[in-house]
Amino acid sequence: MKKLLLAFIATLCSLTAFADGEYGLYILPEGASDEPTTFSVSEIQKITFENGNVIVKQTSGESSTFSMSSISRMYFGELVTGIRDVSSEGLWDGKSIKVIGDSKVEVFTTSGVAVSQGKYSNGESVNLDHLPQGVYIVKVGGRSIKIIK
């Protein structure tokens, strides 16, 4: 059964590489009110099933482990770009973004065009002075925030 599931996942990964949008792996916890954990297909290095756990190893070297008994649903689909958390409290000072934890910082226009991205260390500031005035969506430290410059 595990081999069949792995073959299915490998097939989905290869099929989504030809799609126009960005696809990801969604892992939904048992609690209906909990948010899913998502991984971009391009960032997944390997998915394994060991001792009742699903282990997702990313190309960055990070691994995430989920107990199979705590997963209500797991599937591949187009990544949603919706914003769940728009609070920028403590992250945006009007000129730069404060990085929480070692993380990737991505800045998008409201039309979805990426205008800046990079990997930063905990406590670093990402200066956005070079951007024209406007509204931007910033993904940092697992959060999406709206900033007005």
Categorize the per-residue pLDDT at 20 as very low, low, confident or very high, splitting at 50, 70 and 90. very low
CB 83 within 8 A of CB 137: yes
CATH class in words for 2-78: mainly beta
22 compared with 90, residue with greater pLDDT = 22
CB 55 within 8 A of CB 63: yes
The domain ranges of the chain are: 2-78, 96-148
Q: What is the pLDDT of residue 50?
A: 94
90 compared with 116, residue with greater pLDDT = 116
Give the single-character DSSP code of 132: P
- Contacts of residue 114, defined as CB under 8 A and 6 or more positions apart, other chains included, come to 106, 107, 108
Read off the pTM: 0.44
CB 63 within 8 A of CB 57: yes
- Contacts of residue 72, defined as CB under 8 A and 6 or more positions apart, other chains included, come to 28, 29, 30, 32
Does the pLDDT of residue 2 top 80, yes or no? no
93 compared with 14, residue with greater pLDDT = 93
d(CA 48, CA 117): 30
Q: What confidence tens digit (pLDDT) does each residue in 53-107 have?
A: 999 999 889 999 999 998 988 988 877 655 444 455 567 888 888 887 778 888 8
Q: Please state which of the ranges 28-37, 46-55, 115-124 shows the lowest mean pLDDT.
A: 28-37
Burial 8-46 (b: 16+ CB within 10 A, else e): ebeebbeebeeeeeebbbbbbbeeeeeebbebebeebee
Does the pLDDT of residue 21 top 80, yes or no? no
Residues in the chain: 149
